[in-house]
């Protein structure tokens, strides 16, 4: 076994350890202070490290806070104008893109026999109305018969009373021997005849009253006939009115109207009409921003072409979309020249209450160990301090950040190389440079 290589390797290892890890003690030993025991040799405490950074003195400003969303344009109204009756189209078609006015004719349908049906309905109405006076006269005549029948009844009742008196007198006379049996029989027969007369008169009264009721039924039937005829006339006129299909509102034709000679059935599309002035801008607000927007708030939007438009919030949904948990918002914008089309992409900014914010370069933002977005400030004793922030608006000059004190010294260069509590050597820079 070779001992010398082992000793040489051990000596080199010890030398390297002393040179690298115990350099100060080795230098002290080499200077002649060899009395200090190895156990008492300690490394000197290093001086606190200072990191150089660049910061700006930022002062908060009040800005008009705006809720930013993306959306699209949408026609204020869009309707498929459909036929309500069947027939051939007899009007020349209007081509898509044409501007139309309210109640302008879009399609005309061949009337066919509808005019004849209207004339027939009107004739039946005239006939039904003519029946009413005759029926009214019969009612009056029937009512006039009732007093006459009642008078006959009273007369018959009087005759019955007279016959009964004569009968009772004859009965008394025959008992005293002053009247013959023939007279008694005649008086009794007169009573029976009077009773029959009363019964006949009662039947006459009932017949007269029944005639009144029948005449009243006839006049009700006549009036019902008039109403039925009037309904038939109205239905025929309505059917004729359906032959002309007109625009429900002013706008633009999105499709050609029905071609000449084509056959339309109830429900067939005559034309598609859209109203683009004013036009709607629709978007969806997240839950975090919905309380910042109110109906009537001013809003502006930028189209994909770069055009700027403005309007007011007309509608804000009170029910969230069940899938996205967002709220529909509608903004109405004037569009007199119809240059804004349905379905264009827009970036919408809705005005909200002003907030205090700092305008800082976007590069000043950083993340802490928990992933929270913020900036680092020059805190007390010139030490780094992390502060969370929220972005209000992004502009070409920088970002507006909320969550900072009124005045703050914000690190804009070197914030990625320091942590909280690190001593700083600060160089100031003018804001905006």
pLDDT the model gives residue 92 = 93
Q: How far apart are CA 51 and CA 423, in angstroms?
A: 6
Which domains does the chain show, CATH number per domain?
Answer: 3-44 (no CATH), 57-65+355-429 (2.40.420.20), 114-241 (1.10.287.620), 271-351 (2.40.30.170)
**CB-CB contact of 365 with 374 (8 Å):** yes
pLDDT the model gives residue 77 = 92
**CB-CB contact of 240 with 114 (8 Å):** yes
How far is CA 138 from each of CA 127, 142, 147, 151, 364, rounded to the nearest angstrom? 17, 6, 15, 21, 104
pLDDT the model gives residue 107 = 95
SS3 27: helix
pLDDT the model gives residue 177 = 67
**CB-CB contact of 410 with 358 (8 Å):** yes
Closest CA to 336 of 394, 277, 264: 277
Q: How far apart are CA 58 and CA 239, in angstroms?
A: 76
pLDDT the model gives residue 38 = 44
pLDDT per residue rounded down to tens, the chain (433 residues): 465 666 667 776 766 666 556 666 655 655 555 444 444 444 555 567 888 999 999 999 888 777 889 999 999 999 999 999 999 999 999 999 899 999 999 999 999 898 898 999 899 888 888 877 777 776 677 677 778 777 777 877 887 787 788 777 777 777 766 666 777 677 777 778 777 877 877 777 777 777 677 767 777 887 888 888 899 999 999 999 999 999 999 999 999 999 999 999 999 999 999 999 999 999 999 998 888 888 998 899 999 888 999 999 999 999 999 999 999 999 999 999 889 999 999 999 998 777 788 999 999 999 998 989 999 999 888 999 999 998 887 888 889 898 899 999 999 998 888 888 899 998 988 876 5
Q: How far apart are CA 338 and CA 3, in angstroms?
A: 101
Bridge partners of 310? 300
How far is CA 329 from each of CA 282, 338, 345, rounded to the nearest angstrom? 6, 22, 15
Q: Which residues contact 45 (CB under 8 A, 6 or more apart)?
A: none
Q: Which residues contact 351 (CB under 8 A, 6 or more apart)?
A: 64, 65, 66, 297, 298, 299
Q: Can you read off the two tokens belonging to residue 161?
A: 């009373």
For the entire predicted model, the pTM comes to 0.53
pLDDT the model gives residue 261 = 92
SS3 395: strand
**CB-CB contact of 317 with 295 (8 Å):** no
**CB-CB contact of 297 with 312 (8 Å):** yes
Sheet bearing 355-360, strands edge to edge? 61-63, 355-360, 398-402, 390-395
Phi first, then psi: give them for residue 337, nearest 5 degrees: -90, 0
């Amino acid at each position: 076994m070779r001992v010398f290589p082992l000793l040489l390797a051990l000596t080199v290892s010890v030398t390297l350890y002393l040179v690298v890890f115990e350099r100060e003690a080795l230098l002290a030993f080499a200077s002649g202070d060899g009395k200090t025991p190895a156990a008492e040799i300690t490394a000197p405490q290093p001086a606190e490290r200072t990191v150089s950074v660049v910061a700006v003195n930022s002062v908060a400003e009040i800005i008009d806070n705006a809720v930013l969303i993306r959306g699209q344009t949408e026609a204020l109204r869009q309707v498929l104008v459909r036929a309500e009756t069947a027939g051939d189209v007899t009007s020349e078609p209007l081509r898509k893109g044409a501007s139309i006015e309210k109640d302008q004719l879009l399609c005309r349908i061949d009337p066919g026999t509808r005019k004849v049906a209207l004339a027939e309905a009107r004739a039946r109405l005239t006939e039904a109305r003519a029946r009413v006076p005759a029926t009214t006269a019969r009612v009056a005549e029937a009512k006039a018969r009732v007093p006459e029948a009642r008078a006959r009844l009273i007369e018959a009742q009087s005759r019955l009373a007279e016959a009964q008196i004569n009968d009772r007198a004859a009965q008394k006379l025959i008992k005293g021997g002053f009247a013959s049996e023939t007279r008694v029989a005649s008086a009794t027969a007169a009573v029976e005849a009077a009773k029959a007369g009363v019964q006949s008169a009662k039947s006459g009264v009932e017949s007269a009253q029944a005639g009144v009721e029948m005449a009243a039924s006839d006049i009700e039937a006549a009036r019902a006939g008039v109403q039925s005829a009037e309904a038939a006339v109205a239905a025929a006129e309505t059917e004729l009115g359906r032959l002309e299909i007109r625009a429900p509102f002013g706008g633009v034709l999105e499709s050609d109207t029905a071609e000449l000679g084509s056959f339309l059935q109830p429900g067939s599309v005559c034309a598609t009409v859209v109203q683009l002035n004013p036009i709607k801008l629709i978007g969806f607000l997240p839950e975090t921003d919905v309380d910042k927007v109110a109906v009537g708030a001013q809003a502006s939007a930028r189209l994909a072409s770069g055009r700027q438009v403005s309007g007011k919030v007309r509608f804000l949904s009170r029910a969230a979309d069940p899938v996205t948990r967002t709220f529909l918002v509608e903004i109405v914008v004037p569009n007199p020249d119809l240059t804004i089309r349905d379905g264009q992409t827009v970036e919408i900014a809705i005005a909200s209450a002003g907030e205090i914010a700092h305008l800082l370069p976007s590069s000043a933002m950083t993340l802490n160990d928990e992933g929270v977005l913020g900036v680092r400030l020059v805190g007390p004793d010139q030490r780094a301090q992390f502060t969370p922030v929220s972005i209000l608006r992004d502009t070409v000059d920088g970002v507006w950040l909320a969550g900072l004190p009124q005045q703050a010294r914000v690190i804009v260069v070197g914030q990625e190389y320091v942590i909280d509590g690190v001593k700083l050597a600060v160089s100031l820079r003018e804001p905006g440079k």
